[in-house]
Amino acid sequence: MIPNISTVPWILFLGLIPSAALAQSGNVGSELEKYQTLLPGIHGTSNLPDIKITGVTILSDREISIDLRYIGTGTTSPPVVIVVSGLSNRTEQSPIEGSQILNEGWVSPASLTITVNGSSSLYDANLVSVVASPYGSPAPSPLR
């Protein structure tokens, strides 16, 4: 039996989903709904409910463009860190990665370019993952 090639990116990508998040949720379906397949082999997710990744474009061997939008009801967009990682099935190539911070109040919609580091090319990556996560943390509460 020949495997369905269209399922391969999902199989690879599912390895990047934290198993603790799936175990805690109790509902694998709801966790997987957050993850978007933007193009075969390119996936994006936001760990912020009001931030949506709307596009990803590989610009060169080391540059990638990410489009995102704030869809919240607040007047100010939150601080966000965007992390890009790429994996190749070639053993001689290391993973590639890069990140960029958007400070609170960034203008939506936004398009940003991230330069990645590593020995391989974005064009050679079998899997490119883009993740938007909260940046910073609230002030720690005083110890009692």
Is residue 56 included in any domain, yes or no? yes
Mean pLDDT across 94-115: 94
Whole domain around residue 87: which residue ranges? 5-18+34-125
On whether residue 65 sits in a domain, the answer given is yes
Identify which has the larger pLDDT, 2 or 73.
73
With respect to residue 134, please indicate whether it lies within any of the assigned structural domains: no
pLDDT of residue 76 exceeding 50, the answer is yes
More confident residue, 29 or 115: 115
Examine residue 59 and state whether it is found in any structural domain, yes or no.
yes
* Total of domains in the chain: 1
* Cβ pair 42, 32 in contact under 8 A: no
Distance of CA 88 to the CA centre of its chain: 16
For residue 70, what is the enclosing H or E element?
Answer: strand 63-70
Query: How many whole angstroms separate alpha carbon 115 and alpha carbon 13?
Result: 22
Output phi, psi for 25, to 5 deg: -70, -35
For the ranges 2-11, 26-35, 60-69, which has the lowest average pLDDT? 2-11
Q: In angstroms, rounded to a whole number, what is the distance separating the alpha carbons of residues 27 and 22?
A: 7
Q: How many residues does the chain have?
A: 144
The token pair at 129 is: 């993952």
pLDDT of 111 over the 90 cut? yes
| Mean pLDDT, rounded, for 37-43 | 68
What phi and psi, each to the nearest 5 degrees, are found at residue 142?
Answer: -65, 145
Is pLDDT above 50 for 82? yes
State the pLDDT confidence band at 137, using cuts at 50, 70 and 90.
low
Q: Is residue 55 part of a domain?
A: yes
